[in-house]
Structure 1
């Protein structure tokens, strides 16, 4: 009897695990998480080019030898430049090998920062701010217009390879919401640029200031008083 109960319970757990795995795969596809594909899987060989190997040495020279893992961001950035604007899992594994950490430590960084693309992007990657101030000011509608005009879904690339649309976290310019940027990868491994475009196009505003000029904070603020250290 106990054996039958254990067997039945095992089958229930197995069925629940299968359903959970199927749901996870569907969610992964929807959220653009990594799934092995012919051009993005850990079995594909990847290494830094000869020119970039010298850059790797230069980057590592900025960090103590026992803290090489601190170089993860600049090394990922270099790998992304070499790979045309996106990071395959094999490139992340190569970075992990250089800084001698488990690959998951590199994945954690690459999946956190929106500057790292985990799937192919166009030469011009259009990024719309998705945080609250920009959403209130219509960033979702801007993204929808871009997707409809280009005929793609988020993180898909146009057939000519020129454009893709994604989302970026706060660009630090909420006063000019809605914000978007164009990541320009047209120079390939020679580096890329981010060009920011504010939603506010009022020519009477100077930078982020109000129309007509400031009405407060017209002078430099007074510094805080210093303690008399001798009296302490």
Structure 2
């Protein structure tokens, strides 16, 4: 467990404190799930060992408690991920309606499969269980935010084109 020491940013500590305040005195563990998410956001979308340790220490919890949560839940990433995380639902409804075609499309276009990141660090693909949008199957979620339903490979390619265009605009504005 030896990576560089991680410091939780003051603004993240303030957000964690808001979560802690929602629970009775002495129930810091109840805020652990939210705290790990906040620390993961601060750390570029993933939890290093030292980030998990820092979270446990801040909440005054045993480190093993934080590690158990971080390794149990699918919403945490224990390795660096790409700028854009594409989570493709592969539960029954999505599989029956074509999620395999979506994964094949992503593999062809990006050159990676599930749980892999492009060499340029732009995309990570995840296979996930039910995202609770079965009526819109097949579907994916982008960057833990937007749901994209009733997807076809063509619609998925258009979505990737839009992400690429947005990134190009961002890069252009950053260089000005």
Q: Please indicate, yes or no, whether the TM-score normalized by the shorter chain is above 0.5.
A: yes
Give the drift of 1:200. 5.8
CA contact (8 A) 1:119 1:155 kept: no
Which has more helix, going by share of residues? 2
1:130 corresponding residue in structure 2: 90
- Counterpart CA distance in 1 for 2:50 and 2:77 is 14
CA contact (8 A) 1:85 1:117 kept: yes
1:161 corresponding residue in structure 2: 121
Q: Give RMSD over aligned pairs.
A: 1.9
CA 1:133–1:108: 2 relative to 1, 3 Å: farther
- Counterpart CA distance in 1 for 2:129 and 2:50 is 26
1:215 corresponding residue in structure 2: none
- Counterpart CA distance in 1 for 2:135 and 2:18 is 39
| Pairing of 1:16-31 with structure 2 (within 5 A) | none
Give the drift of 1:64. 2.0
1:49 corresponding residue in structure 2: 9
Structure of greater relative contact order (alpha carbons < 8 Å, 6+ residues apart): 2
- Counterpart CA distance in 2 for 1:131 and 1:137 is 10
Give the drift of 1:170. 0.8
Number of aligned residues: 152
Give the drift of 1:92. 1.2
CA 1:43–1:70: 2 relative to 1, 3 Å: same
2:147 corresponding residue in structure 1: 196
CA contact (8 A) 1:129 1:167 kept: yes
User: Which runs of 5 or more structure 1 residues have no equivalent in the other structure?
Assistant: 1-40, 184-192, 202-232
- Counterpart CA distance in 2 for 1:77 and 1:166 is 17
Larger radius of gyration: 1
Q: TM-score, normalised by structure 1?
A: 0.60
**Which of the residues 43, 54, 72 maps onto 1:94?**
54
2:169 corresponding residue in structure 1: none
